[in-house]
Amino acid sequence: MSTNMIDSPHEKSIKFLQDVCQMDGLELLKTSTIYRITVRIRGRSGRHYEVTAARPIGLFSKVGWETSVTGAAWKNDFNSEASRSYTVNLCLNTHEKKRHLPIGDRLASLVLSLHNDVKLAMDIPLVAQFIVCPRDDLLHIYTFQDDMIVTQDMIDNHEDFDEDYNVYEDDEIDRFEEIERPMEEWFADDSEDAGVPDLGQRSWSQDLGEFIMQQFERSKSES
């Protein structure tokens, strides 16, 4: 590796991450591209984490690195499609203020925090919820967020709702819009209603009441 590459901020940060991952319980996985970095962590709680950072391929891409965190009760849950069902996403944004740092530095900070996940759980409730959640329950959970736990059923129900909402045809939507038109259209062809105020400016119930009273007074005067 050339001296110029070693001296670049990115390469220095990657070297720093490699040194951090020499610690017990941390593993920097080998990947087929420099645009994807994956680290496995065993937390002090006994839970396991996989941190992945990726960016689009291309030296001149303006898109930054995107980081994701996946949690598992067992290390082997990361190793097959079947057991991957027992892993969950952890919505962790603990290092947003460090986005100006090279990706290696940011990952090293996140990895060390997860390595001491018991301490991290005292500051971030979703980590505590994940740590105490039984493995079998993780099968039905999609992600742990700051304010809620999102289950797979919630996602499926939301998709079903979207499908039901889209079953209405355009002509049915047009009929709904006709029902919601202003009440003055009901009396638009009646010449006797020329003096009735514009119903669109007030509530239709008030205007309809006044219209009925006018008709009642007119009937009294004519009788």
Give the start-to-end residue ranges of the domains of the chain: 3-160, 168-222
- DSSP for residue 218: H
Statement: residue 95 has pLDDT above 50: yes
Least confident range from 60-64, 72-76, 138-142, 148-152: namely: 60-64
Rg (CA), the chain: 31
Q: Give rounded-to-5 percent helix, strand, coil for the chain.
A: 50, 15, 35
pLDDT digits (tens, 9 = 90+) for 35-65: 999 999 999 999 999 999 999 887 666 788 9
Contact 145, 126 (CB under 8 A): yes
Q: Where are the beta strands (DSSP E) in the chain?
A: 26-28, 36-42, 48-54, 66-72, 88-90, 141-144, 149-151
3-state secondary structure at position 166: coil
Statement: residue 196 has pLDDT above 50: no
CA end-to-end distance (rounded Å), the chain: 107
pTM: 0.67
Q: Which amino acid is at 156?
A: D
